[in-house]
A and B are shown apart, each in its own frame.
Chain A
Amino acid sequence: MKPIGKDYVKKKYDQVVPGGIDEWPVVSLSNNRDAFIKEVTAESIKRIKKLTPKRSSLIEEIETTLFREKLRVKRNPWAVDPPDEADFLQSIKDRLLEISSNDDKEDIDGTLEDILSEIIERYASEIAGNFKKSRFRMARSIVTFGFARLLNASRARGFWSIFSTRYSLQDKIHITGEVEELRTLAKKGTIIMVPTHFSNLDSILIGWVINALGLPAFIYGAGLNLFNIKIFAYFMESLGAYKVDRRKKNLLYLETLKSYSSLAIQKGCHSLFFPGGTRSRSGQIEKRLKLGLLSTAIEAQRVNYQKGKRDGLHKIFIVPVTLNYNFVLEAPSLIREYLRLKGQERYYVENDEYSTSYKISAFLLKFFTKGSDISVSIGRGLDVLGNYVDTDGNSYDKSGRQIDTQEYFTKDGKIISHDQQREDEYTRMLSDRIVEEFHRINKVFASHLVAFVAFEMLQKKFNKLDLYNLLRIPEEDQIIPYEEFKTVFQTVLRRVHEMYNKGEISVSPYLTGDPDKIIAHGLANMGMYHAKRPLIKNKKGDISTQDLNLLFYYHNRLVGYNLEKYV
C-alpha cells in the first residue's frame, strides 16, 4: 500500500449558521426553558397514560417508581442529587396511601394526575439543559485558548512559546472524514451525531469538534454522574448538555427523557447521543446500541412528516462518528468491571470512579504535554432508516436510486401513520446500520494493531485456557519473540490494508511503511500513560506486557473484523 500523507486538514471553518449564536435552535430552547419543560411534561404524561391505560396499572407504575427511587436515595446517593429528594418521595408515598383508602374514583384520578405531573416535572427540569450564551462563549474560549496555550508550551521550548500560535488543537485532535458533508447537512436539516464512547473525555472532545467545525452547539445527554464534578458540570452545561441519570430506570423517567429528546429534535436542535448508552467496558466498538434515545430520532422524523414538514429543512440526518484513541484514561477500571460482570457477578453499583478533578487535570496536562494524538472520524450522513444521503439531503439506495424517506412511514406512499411496533423495528435496523458504519470508519492505529496481534498470539498459544485463566498466565509465559511477532503482525497488517482498499475500515497514516517502525510507533503510543504498560519491548528486544488485562482491553478495539483468522 502506498504511504498515506497527513489525513486531516487543518483549517478554520466558518460558522454554519451565518446569523450567529442567536439563531441557534438550542438558544431559543433555553430562552423558553420553562415553556419547554411544560411541553415535555405534557408529552410525557400523554405517553405514560397510553402505556398504562388502566388506573390500576398507572398506580402500580407510580408505586414501582417510588420504591426504586427510595432505594436509590438510600443506597446510591450522589452529590448532585437535590437535598429535598427524600421529603418529596415521602409526600408521594403519603398521597398514594390516601388513595388506597379512598373510594371516590374522580378524587383518585385527580390525585394521580397531580402526583404524575409533579414527578414528571421534577424529572423534566432535572434533565433540561441550561444553555447560556455567555457561558457557552466563555467555556468555548477556555477550551480552545487554554488547550492551545498548553499545547504550544509543550511542543516548543522556552517561556515565550506559551504565546505562540503555531500549534492549535487541530494538531492534537485530527478531524477526518466527511467534514464538508456534515457542515452542509447541518444547514439543510437536523443532525443527530452518534459517536462511539470509550472515555468520559468524549463529551468535551466532541463538544470541541462541533465548535471547531463551525457547527452550532448540539444538545446531548451526559451522564448525571459527570455533573458531580463542578468543573465538568460547568463546561457541559455551557456546551448544551442535558442530564441523563442511569440510576433511574423507571418508566416515568425513561419516557420523560425520550419526550425531551424527541421534542428537541422536532424543534430542530442538533443532538448528540452516545448510542452505546455508556462507555464501552470491554474496549470493543459497540455492537449493540441502546434503542431508547435512538428511537426518538425516528419518532421525531415521523412527527415532522406528519406535520407536513417535507424534507427541506426538517429532515433528520444520522452521522456516525468514531473517536480513536491510543490511550483511554479509565481503561484499567473499565476492563476490571467488564471482567467482573462477565464473570457472572450480577450486582454492581453504577459507580463513579472518575471522581476527582485532580485526576482529570493530571491527565489533561499529560495529554497536552506529551505525544499521543487523537483522531475523530466523521462518517457519511444517513437518513433515519440508515440510507446514505447526498449533500442535498436526498436518500439513496445501494444502487444509487433516490428514495423518499417519508414512504417508510406509509402503507401506500401517501398517508403517514404511527405504528409503534414498526418504529421499534426501524430503530433496531438503524442501530445495525450505525454499528456497520462504526466499523467502516473506525481508524486503526498502530497501537491497536500491536495490541491485537500480541493478545491473539497469546490466546492462540494457550488455546486450552479460558479467558480468565489466560489473563493469569505467569510472567515468563507472556513473552513473544520479536521476529515471530513481526511475521504475524505483517500478515494481519496486509489484511488490514486489503480491507482499507475495499473501504471496510479506515487506517492511520502511521500504518504504512517499514513494519519495524510501525511496531515501534505502536508500542510507544499504546496506553502510554498507564502506570503499567500494556505492551513493551523487554531487554532482549522481545514483546512482553506489564498488564494483561489492559492488553486485552486495547486488543478488543479490533474485535469483530475477523482478523483472528490471520494470526
Chain B
Amino acid sequence: MSKECVGVIGSGSFGTAVANILSKNSNVLLYARNPETVEKISASRISNGQQLSENITITNSLEEVAKSCNVIFPVVPSSNFREMMRQFAPFLHPYHVLIHGTKGLDLILPDEIPSDFKMDRSCIRTMSEVIREESVVVRVGCMAGPNLAKELALGHPAATVIASPFNEVINEGKRLLRSDKFQVYGNQDLKGVELCGVLKNIIAIASGIISGLGFGDNAKGLLISRGLVEMIYLGKALGGEISSFIGLAGIGDLVATASSQTSRNYTIGFKLAQGKTMNEAIAEMEETAEGVNTIRIIKQLADAQGIKPLITDMLYKILYEDMKPLEGLSYLMKYPGNIDIDFL
C-alpha cells in the first residue's frame, strides 16, 4: 500500500462511520470480531447498513491491524473493551497510538467482595485507563462529540473532539479525521472528555423518556440544563475538568443526543416511556445502549459515596426497580428547586 494505513477495531455503526471518515485521507483496515461478519461485509461491502469506501479492507486479525497500522481507533462496546484489549495487547508496541470512541465505563470489583466493601473511584476505569492497564501503549486519546453514527453516514457536517494529554495524539487525530465535512478540535483533558461522553448517555435516556411521555421543548430545556449540572458534578468527582463539559464533547454532544431519535440511549428512554420494561426495550435494540450500564455503575458509586445525583437516581429506579416513568418525573418536579448554578 502506498498510502498509510489506519486501523479501526469494531464494525458497529459508529466504528463503520469512523472508518468511512478516515478512508477520505488514508487506507483503512477495519476489524470485525466475528469471521462470518467479515465474510459478509467483504462480499456485500455494506457494514451496519453503511456502504464501505473502496479503500477500506476488512479483517479478522488483530495482529494484522497492529502490524499494518500505527494509529488505531478502537470502537467496541465497553462491556467487550477489556477482553478486546487483552487479545490485542500481545501485538501492540510502545509506538502505537490508540484513539478510542467508546462512551462507557469499565467496572472492576474484587474477586471476593468483603462485607465492608465500599465502591469508590478506584473500581471504575474509563476506556483510556483500560488501554493503559492492558497494553504497553501510552499515547492514548479518545474521540467524543456529537457524532451520531447515522448522520455521519449520510455525510452531514459534524465535528468531534480528540482528547489526549499528548499533543502529538491530538495532531494525528486531526490529520487523519479532518475533512470538508468534519471538523476536529483538541482537548488535553482526556479524562474529562471521556466522562462527558459517558455521562451524557444518562441524560439522553431521560430525554427519550420525556419525549416518549409526550412533553415538549420546555421540559427538554429543563432536562438538558439540569442534566448538564448533574454531569458536571459527577464528572468533577470522577476526575474531569469542568471546562470540558461546556465544550463540544459535553454540551455539544448532550444537545445532539438528547434531541435525536437516532440515538440509541434516547430510543431506550422513549421505549420505556411507552410502557416497555428495560429488558423488552433492550431486546428491541440492534446495538448496545451504553447508558443503561452507566446508570447502574454510577448509582452504585453514588450510594457508596453518599451523594445523590437526582436524575441518575430516578432513572435507576425506572430501569431496575420498575418505577413508572411518569411517577419518576413527577417526583423530580416536586423536589425543591435549588440554586441554578453554583460551580462556576
Contact = CB atoms under 8 A, between A and B. Distances in A.
Interface stretch (A113-121, A411-419, A441-449): A411-419
A304 interface: no
Contact of A410 (B95, B133, B135, B166): B95
Nearest to B136: A397
A407 B90 contact: no
B63 interface: no
Contacts, number: 46
Interface in A363-398: 385, 387, 397-398
A425 interface: yes
Contacts of A361: none
A405 B136 CA distance: 10
A407 B66 CA distance: 14
B74 to A, nearest CB: 18
A403 interface: yes
A412 B95 contact: yes
Interface in B70-107: 70, 89-90, 93-95, 97
A400 B93 CA distance: 14
A208 interface: no
B287 interface: no
Contacts of B165: 425, 428
Contact of B168 (A411, A412, A413): A411
Given A399-B89, A413-B93, A413-B95, A408 B166 contact: no
A410 B70 CA distance: 10
A422 interface: yes
Contacts of A413: 70, 93, 95
Contacts of A387: 136
A52 B90 CA distance: 44
Interface of B: 70, 89-90, 93-95, 97, 133, 135-136, 138-139, 165-168
A403 B94 contact: yes
A401 interface: yes
Interface residues of A, number: 22
Most buried by A among B95, B97, B167: B95
Interface string A521-564: 00000000000000000000000000000000000000000000
B128 to A, nearest CB: 13
A436 to B, nearest CB: 13
Nearest to B139: A422
A429 interface: yes
Across the A-B interface, give the 9 residue pairs with the lowest CB-CB distance, nearest first. A407-B94, A408-B94, A407-B95, A413-B95, A421-B167, A397-B136, A410-B95, A425-B165, A407-B93
Contacts of B97: 411
Given A401-B89, A404-B94, A425-B166, 20 more contacts: A387-B136, A399-B89, A401-B136, A403-B136, A404-B93, A405-B94, A407-B93, A408-B95, A408-B138, A410-B95, A411-B95, A413-B95, A419-B167, A419-B168, A421-B166, A421-B167, A421-B168, A422-B139, A426-B138, A428-B165
Given A397-B136, A399-B89, A408-B138, A385 B168 contact: no
Contacts of A425: 165-166
21 contacts: A385-B94, A399-B89, A401-B89, A403-B136, A404-B93, A404-B94, A405-B94, A407-B94, A408-B138, A411-B95, A412-B70, A412-B95, A413-B70, A413-B93, A413-B95, A419-B168, A421-B167, A422-B166, A422-B167, A425-B165, A426-B138
Contacts of A410: 95
A413 B90 CA distance: 16
Contacts of B93: 403-404, 407, 413
Nearest to A401: B90
Nearest to A387: B136
A534 B95 CA distance: 52
Contacts of B166: 421-422, 425
Contacts of A428: 165
Contacts of B89: 399, 401
Interface in A492-512: none
A397 B133 CA distance: 10
Given A397-B136, A403-B136, A411 B90 contact: no
Interface in A83-115: none
Most buried by B among A405, A419, A422: A422
Given A403-B94, A421-B168, A425-B165, A411 B70 contact: yes
A105 B95 CA distance: 45
A345 B324 CA distance: 56
A421 B168 CA distance: 8
A494 to B, nearest CB: 13
Contacts of A407: 93-95
Contacts of A422: 139, 166-168
Contacts of B168: 411, 419, 421-422
Contacts of B135: 397
A425 B170 CA distance: 14
Interface string A62-88: 000000000000000000000000000
B64 to A, nearest CB: 16
A460 B124 CA distance: 29
A143 B138 CA distance: 45
Contacts of A426: 138
Contacts of B136: 387, 397, 401, 403
A425 B141 CA distance: 13
Most buried by A among B90, B93, B133, B136: B136
B165 to A, nearest CB: 5
A237 to B, nearest CB: 39
A404 B92 CA distance: 11
B2 to A, nearest CB: 16
Given A412-B95, A413-B93, A385 B167 contact: no
A285 to B, nearest CB: 19
Interface string A475-495: 000000000000000000000
Contacts of A412: 70, 95
Contacts of B138: 385, 408, 426, 429
A388 to B, nearest CB: 12
Nearest to B132: A429
Interface string A331-353: 00000000000000000000000
Interface string A287-299: 0000000000000
A405 B95 CA distance: 10
Contacts of A411: 70, 95, 97, 168
A306 B77 CA distance: 40
A131 to B, nearest CB: 36
A397 B94 CA distance: 10
Nearest to A413: B95
Contacts of A408: 94-95, 138
B121 to A, nearest CB: 13
A145 to B, nearest CB: 48
Contacts of A399: 89
A426 B89 CA distance: 20
